[in-house]
Amino acid sequence: MNLNRLAVFLTVLCAGLSLHAQSQGGVSDAWTLETVNANARLVADWMTAHPKRHSQLDWTYGAFYAGIAALGLSDPALPYLDQIRDLGRKSAWKPLTRTYHADDHCIGQSWLEVAAFDNNPTYAAGLKLTYDYILANPHKGPLDFTKKDNQKRWSWCDALFMSPTVLVKIYGLTGDARYLDFMDREYKATTDYLYSKDDHFFFRDSRYFDKQTKNGRHVYWCRGNGWVFGSLPIILRDLPADRPSRAFYLALYKEMAASIKKAQHADGAWRPSLRDLDDPDMQEMSGTSFFTYGLLWGINNGVLDRADYLPCVQKAWKAICRNINSEGRLGWVQPIGDRPVASYTADDHEVYAVGAYLCAAMELRKLIVADAHPARKAVEIVNPLALYRSAETVTLDWARLGMQAAKVRVFDVRNSAVLPHQLFDSDGDG
């Protein structure tokens, strides 16, 4: 969890305002809390009822459960956090067995969110053992994807979503900066190796340095860059404000955001190949959902200029909603792979796309609340300690603040979790 930026946010809520019209086909794209919440639950429930054959501990489900965690934290009374708890108990909170492989770390994102929410660090024990071994025995091999044991480091860009996002959360639970030191070193190494400083996109891995599209352009895979862009809000959200490496992640985020915006198709979706929209000319919803999530985070946190980026997000959201059927299936998702392909249809769906969509929906939810309450009264209480503190007593003078205790809601501003709380009149003055 975020050590220095963890905050409790108290605000008076009311219904969101409708900002958008009904989408044509698919589900409604209206920007209201009711619609966004209903659609998110519809998509989550459909995917849960139609599981894939992948292990629920692998990277595909790791991304899915990251979205389930975001949805569950928005209203802990709903059953979604229990899905994560049940999976953790069944697996004894132990990840899959490839110690160094980033894909097997990804499930830790959701486990650590629930560990912090439940104030139960035992959920993190298995992941901590894995990372403690890695830190004590770091792999020194090259990042060249053709070399033996190359995947013992983050040699493919997808890995930047799978493992660093877990390391930053383990730091939040432990306060041990070694996890951040390792994350910073390896993330920068992968960026130096795979990131194009000219185009501001990542090559998927070293095999694509010299490959070209049919029109002679570099091959930058949409979902691969979606993985990277989706990792940056998670890292920046939990990284201490005074951490020197913060500037690196923020600069990377802004550069990628600008290139992502330019690569958007007129219909609002992104194509599998980011520099050649004709190869193939097909909408791709997993990358589109990751980009939408990342861009919404930037708008919500004042990192991106709202006037410049909101139209991009509006078009993207309409594109996503068009591709959710009435039952909740999100289609036009490229199957598991490592490059742009045309071998998928409106019927193709995957758990990782749903996870990205849910993260985007919950960021949109934050935007709706902020827009609906521009003059809301709020108090932000910041935890200055290097430990997650889930149960604290805070004394406030309601009369001075002009707030009615009966209408107060308590949130964690880093993830919009509605925190369990009890109000107590300590001095008996009402």
Q: What share of the chain is helix, strand, coil (3-state, %, to 5)?
A: 50, 5, 45
Average pLDDT over residues 104-124: 97
Supply the pLDDT for residue 370.
86
Q: Can you point out the beta strands (E) in 286-383?
A: 378-382
Q: What is the pLDDT of residues 94-113, one digit of tens each?
A: 999 999 999 999 999 999 99
Inside any domain, residue 410: no
Percent of the chain with pLDDT over 90: 80
Tokens of 161: 């979503």
Mean model confidence pLDDT for the chain: 90
Inside any domain, residue 161: yes
Inside any domain, residue 2: no
> Most distant CA pair in the chain: distance in Å?
75
Supply the pLDDT for residue 415.
59
Supply the pLDDT for residue 413.
65
* pTM as predicted: 0.90
Q: How far apart are CA 335 and CA 315, in angstroms?
A: 23
For the ranges 9-18, 67-76, 141-150, 215-224, which has the lowest average pLDDT?
9-18
Q: How far apart are CA 203 and CA 200, in angstroms?
A: 10
Inside any domain, residue 425: no
Inside any domain, residue 430: no
The structural domain count of the chain equals 1
Q: Out of 158, 184, 276, 348, which one is annotated catalytic?
A: 158
CATH of the domain at 170: 1.50.10.10
Contact by Cβ (8 Å): 106, 59: yes
Inside any domain, residue 426: no
Q: Is 158 considered catalytic here?
A: yes
Supply the pLDDT for residue 255.
99
Compute CA distances 206 → 188, 225, 344, whole Å: 16, 14, 25
Inside any domain, residue 168: yes
Supply the pLDDT for residue 31.
94
Percent of the chain with pLDDT over 70: 82
Domain that holds residue 176: 7-379
